[in-house]
Structure formats: C-alpha cells, structure tokens
Amino acid sequence: MIMETPQQNRCGEHCSIIETAAKILSEYPLCDRCLGRVFAKKGIELSNEERGRAIKTLLAMKLYADYTSEIIDAEYIGKIASNTGDPVTRLYRKITDREISVNPCYICLHRVSSDYIDEIARRVAVKLSELNASSFIIGVKLDSEVVKKELDVHVLAGLESSESLKNELKREIGKRVTQLTNIPPDFDKPDVVVIVDVNKDFDYSIQTQVNPILLKAIYFKRGRRISHVPWFTSNGSRKYPESIQDFIRDSIARLFDARDIKIHAAGREDVDARMLGSGRPLVIEVKEPGFRNVDLDLLNYILDDQFIKVSVIGAATRRDIESIKEGSRKRRKIYRVAVLTEKPVSEGDLEKLSSFFKERSVKQRTPTRILRRKKDRERIKRVYRIEVISISSRVFEALIYCDGGLYVKELVHCDNGRTTPCFSEILGTPAYPLELDVLYIEKTWDK
C-alpha cells in the first residue's frame, strides 16, 4: 500500500481541477467566468472570472508540457483551444502557425461580462433612484434553456463545487448597484424588488415591484355613519358619506405619491357607532409609494379631522396585520349605549339590571340584521359588569364591560329572543339602543 504524502494530496486536488477543466472544455466551449463558476467553491476572495482565467492558464501550461512529451498532438490542442480561447489559442498558433476561431460560450454565448453586469446595474440604479428606494433586492429569471445547458456542464464536472449563473448574476449586479447608488440590499424587507429577466440570447428586461409601506396606527371615529371602507348600495351610490379608508387615502396618498391606500383593522364597530377612548388598532398599507420618508408629525397633523382621527405610531409588519386580526375578537371592550325603554323604568329597575349583569354569560345567535352576510350560529360571550345612569324616566345610559365580539345592540333589545339574557328581559319592557360608542379596546397594540 502506498501512502500519499500531503504534497501529493494537494497536487491531487489541484491536478483534478485541471483534469476536470480539460474534460469539460473538450466537450463544451466556456468563457472564463462560466468555467470559473464550475469551481466556485474552490478558494475564497476570487471572482469566478479570475478562477476561470487561472485554470485556463494552468491548462495551457499542462497542454504544452504534454505536447512536448508527445503525450498529445497539436490536433488535440486545437480542439481544446477552440472551446477555451486565450491563452490556449495562443499556444496553438505558436506551435502550428495556424489561426483558430473560438466557439461562443455554451452557457452565456460570451455575453456575460463585467460590462454586461455594469450595464444592467446602471439601469437598475436609475430605476431605484426614480422610486426613491432606500433598500432593494435583486431577483434573476434565467431562460430555462440556459439553466439546462448550465446543468449539462455542472453535471459533467461532478456538481460539488459549482455555483449557478443565476446566483452569480444576482450577487454581482447587487454589489454593483450598491457601489453605484450607496443603496444597501435588504433580504428581508426591501423597499423595491428588482427582477432581471434574461432570455436565451442574453437580452434582458428589468421589472420592479415596489413593496408597500405598512404603518401601525390607531383610529378614532368622532362621528357616526362612517364605515371602514366605502360602502355602495346596489345602484352604485354611496350608503355613507365617509369611510376611514377614503379619509386616509384622500389625506395622505399624494404625500406618499402612492397608487392606493388600504386599511387593515382589528375588527370593526357598527357604522353608526363612534370609536372613542382608546381607539382601535389599524395597519395602513401604502401601495407603490413614490416617497417613503414622510414625517410622522406631519402625517398625524393631516390625519386629525373633525370626525375621524388617525394616530400613526410607526412602522408595521405583515405579522402585525395578522396579529391584530387574530386578536381582535379576544380583546375585552367597554361600550357606552344610550337606551330607550317602552315603559318608564325606575332607579330600582336599573339597579336590578346592573346587579344581574355581573360576570354573566350571554347566549347569542347571529343577529338578524347581519344574517344575510354571516352564518347563523350560537356564541357565548361574557358581560363582566354594567354601570347605569338614568337620563330620564325612559332613557338611561349604560357602560358595558364585556368580551370582544359581543353584539351590544342585541344585548339591549334581545333580537326576538336570539340573545338571552338581555336588557328587555330583565327590565320587563322592550328596550332599544339609541346610540352606541366603543370606549375602550383592551391592548390596543401589544407592547
């Protein structure tokens, strides 16, 4: 058994690079960069172009040595030279005194060069500056034929140390864009996603997708008949004059030079209910913004109107949208409701009402008024307590501390027995909700 010395081992690896390169280049023509990519995991701080060039130089040296030892002939060198180019073509010319043409790179047709990458990066830089981007990410789409050809080469080389062209383009274009613009890449939350779409002839197009700005906010409705989003009747006219989404869009879309604005809220109150006190959490989605850095104080100044006020707290994430939607039903609420009764009610009746609704479970079937859009089912919600103040013999005001998702109007009027127990039942006379306000929502934004 022959023990290999460490020197032989090292040579073994490097010699195998040359042998693999010779094997590939006797079959496929490759430019320096595409050859270097086959060995991308060999060595660090080297570009693939440098790797490919070095391997070709060593290969030329080995071919010359083999030629002088008469292991190979000029014809073999010619075959390798037409697939390799310089410096093997120089060697061939020197030993044969004949010209030889070089075949286009099997993978990139000799199109992918530093100039090619620079040209793409410059066009990307212009787009990013037009979009006022402060971060970006590059995606590359390669024609499937190119991907297949690259795989042919990498499979022949044994795959283990190769890098894909797609990956190299992404990295090199990204690096160059940052050099040109000082805009850093952001792999998690880029302002702009740039897609470079490369066809089989290596012509390319550049598409950009501008990510939305998400803002964490709280809204207050100081007026009634205000919906979340515009609400249209079947004949196309507006059912309510104002919506929170329209108010926000009309107020700030131009400030961001945005295509559109959408809101994501944690549940909703009835259109005719006000939202006071703690306000309700909201995420504002600013779509395709042209400007991204708008002053928070300015936003909050603009978003404070007579009937609607929106307080923007800061940046939000997609996760925030999910979490406010998930959490909205679980948050406890405090409502204020003005109640009209058919017959006069006494202080004693009201005391009876407030002592009854202490830690009380209430069974509710889906309210009749929303049966058209929601499934009929039963739910059990808790009323923790109520506080009652008499306004006149037939009008009183109640503060209701309860679970999120309790239908308060139905708690008052019973909805023909679909909600039980209810105010009408305990008072012994039909009761009607006149006005409803949401005063408090638990944990508006989780800290």
Active site residues: 270
CB of 34 to Zn ion, least distance (A): 3
Q: If we measure between CA atoms, which residue out of 272, 277, 263, 282 comes closest to residue 223?
A: 272
| 424 contact partners, CB below 8 Å, separation of at least 6 | 412, 413, 414, 430, 431
Bridging pattern class, strands 431-441 and 378-392: unpaired
Contact positions vs Zn ion (CB under 5 A)? 31, 34, 105, 107-108
Residue with Cβ nearer Zn ion (104 or 344): 104
Shortest distance (Å) from residue 122 CB to Zn ion: 21
Neighbours of 262 (CB within 10 A): 14
Residue 88 near residue 60 (C-beta atoms within 8 A): yes
- Smallest separation (angstroms) from Zn ion to the CB of 93: 22
Q: How far is the CB of 35 from Zn ion (least distance, A)?
A: 8
**Nearest distance from C-beta of residue 106 to Zn ion, angstroms:** 7
Residue 158 phi, psi dihedral angles, 5° rounding? 100, 0
Is residue 437 a contact partner of residue 335, using CB atoms and an 8 Å limit? yes
Q: Of 129 and 167, which CB lies nearer to Zn ion in the complex structure?
A: 167
Answer yes or no: is 76 a known binding residue: no
Name every residue whose Cβ is closer than 8 Å to that of residue 280 and which is 6 or more positions away in sequence: 218, 219, 265, 266, 267, 268, 269, 438, 441, 444
| 91 vs 108, beta carbon nearer Zn ion | 108
Handedness of CA 363, 365, 370, 376 (dihedral sign): positive
Rounded Cα distance, 153 and 147, in Å = 10
Question: Which CB atom, from 107 or from 275, has the smaller least distance to Zn ion?
Answer: 107
Residue among 105 and 427 whose Cβ is closer to Zn ion? 105
Cis geometry, peptide bond prior to residue 421 (ω within 30 degrees of 0): yes
Angle at 194 between CA 107 and CA 172, to 5 degrees: 50
335 carries a ligand binding annotation: yes
- Binding-site positions read 335, 407
Binding positions for substrate are 335, 407
